[in-house]
Amino acid sequence: MELREILKKIVLLGDGGVGKTSLIARYVVNKFDDKYIATIGTKVSKKDIQVVKPNLIVNLRMMIWDILGQKEYSKIRTSSLSGAQGVILVADLSRPETVNNLQSFWLKEVQQVVGKVPTVMVGNKTDMVDKGSMAATILESTGQKLGIPTLLSSAKTGENVEEMFLTLGDILVADVVAAQPRAKEKAPQTLAEVVDFIIQDFCAQYGDLEKAMLIVQHQFEDAGVDIRRPSKEAVLQALDGLAKAEELSLTKSVARVNLEERQRMVILSKG
């Protein structure tokens, strides 16, 4: 399992009042006082997410830039947009012109300043407008035409708020994931070798080596694993115990991915 730390700058754009600030406030815990932000015209927030793939965990830190103001203040907006590696374009479904502006104005601006970057288009305020409305339909067909994922959201109910950031996050780490060599289908190893590998892997991911070894010892004893001549059943049982420990020390999803991979190795081993 490899761990990567990725930092990306993402910017929310769209007409005034469509709900950009509200969506970010829904998604992140804010620490900065908004009083100062009004003067500067820009607010920076951050959110860490974890993208888990077989053999790879990506800790993605998204720096989320919210730019105040209308279309007219182009200078400050361009400065803040500079260096953006991902963009969320937001429209208000109750105001169809804000949907049209996504392609005719905002997307153009993004391309002028930072070129082609991962983008998601969002129709906000679904709590007020029917999802089958004209505005929503136009938004979705625009997205399809341009090959940009679209989501319908509400900052008020929280619907699809997390999803829009996760969707963008997935695109942002796609190149890292693609560059990652797939787990090689190695020649079947003996069960003893597999057990050895699992113990090392567990300790490496746990961090605290001494504590990790104690957990391994404890789980292996509980499951009745004989280290010199292990049986597959006993090892599989011990893996469940290790996964429980990892749920606490890592995260649930990481623990599950690890468990599945280790189970596969044990089952495929010669032993």
Partner 1 sequence: MEQDIRIETLIIMSVAIFAVLAVVAFVVPFEDQETKLFFIAVVAALTGINVVGLFMVWRSSPTIVDEVFLMTPTGMLLKHYTRRLRPDQDEDILAGMLTAVQNFIRDSFDEAGGRLNEIRFENYDILISHGKSIVIAAIISTKKPERLRDQLKTATADLEAEFGDRIAKWTGDKKDLGDVDVIMKRFLSGKYRR
Ligand X SMILES: Nc1nc2c(ncn2[C@@H]2O[C@H](COP(=O)(O)OP(=O)(O)O)[C@@H](O)[C@H]2O)c(=O)[nH]1
Enumerate long-range contacts of 235-239, CB under 8 Å, 24 or more apart. 235/191, 235/194, 235/195, 235/266, 236/263, 236/266, 236/267, 239/198, 239/263, 239/266
Question: Should residue 175 be labelled a site residue for partner 1 when binding is judged by CB under 8 A?
Answer: yes
Q: Nearest distance from residue 73's CB to partner 1, in Å?
A: 9
Question: Should residue 204 be labelled a site residue for ligand X when binding is judged by CB under 6 A?
Answer: no
- Closest CB to ligand X: residue number: 19
CA–CA gap between residue 232 and residue 255 (Å, rounded) = 20
Q: CB 179: neighbour CB atoms within 10 A?
A: 9
b/e per residue, 222-258, with b = 16+ CB within 10 A?
ebebeeeebeeeebbbbbebbbebbbebbeeebbebb
Half-sphere exposure of 124 (CA within 13 A, CB side): 29
Q: Nearest distance from residue 74's CB to ligand X, in Å?
A: 16
How is residue 197 annotated by DSSP? H
Question: Should residue 20 be labelled a site residue for partner 1 when binding is judged by CB under 8 A?
Answer: no
Stretch of 10-18, 32-40, 101-109, 192-200 lying at the interface with ligand X (CB under 6 A) = 10-18
Stretch of 125-133, 139-147, 196-204, 229-237 lying at the interface with ligand X (CB under 6 A) = 125-133
Of positions 124, 150, 160, 219, contacts ligand X by CB under 6 A = 124
Q: Nearest distance from residue 19's CB to ligand X, in Å?
A: 3
Using alpha carbons, list the distances in angstroms from residue 87 to 11, 20, 33, 65, 84. 5, 12, 24, 10, 7
Q: Which is nearer to ligand X, 9 or 125 (CB)?
A: 125
Q: Which is nearer to partner 1, 75 or 186 (CB)?
A: 75
Stretch of 139-147, 154-162, 191-199, 245-253 lying at the interface with ligand X (CB under 6 A) = 154-162
Q: Which is nearer to ligand X, 77 or 262 (CB)?
A: 77
Dihedral (CA of 206, 210, 213, 217) sign: negative
Binding interface with ligand X (CB under 6 A): 14, 16-22, 124-125, 127-128, 154-156
- Contact residues toward partner 1 (CB under 8 A) are 4-9, 31-32, 39-46, 61, 63, 65, 75-76, 79-80, 82-85, 175-176
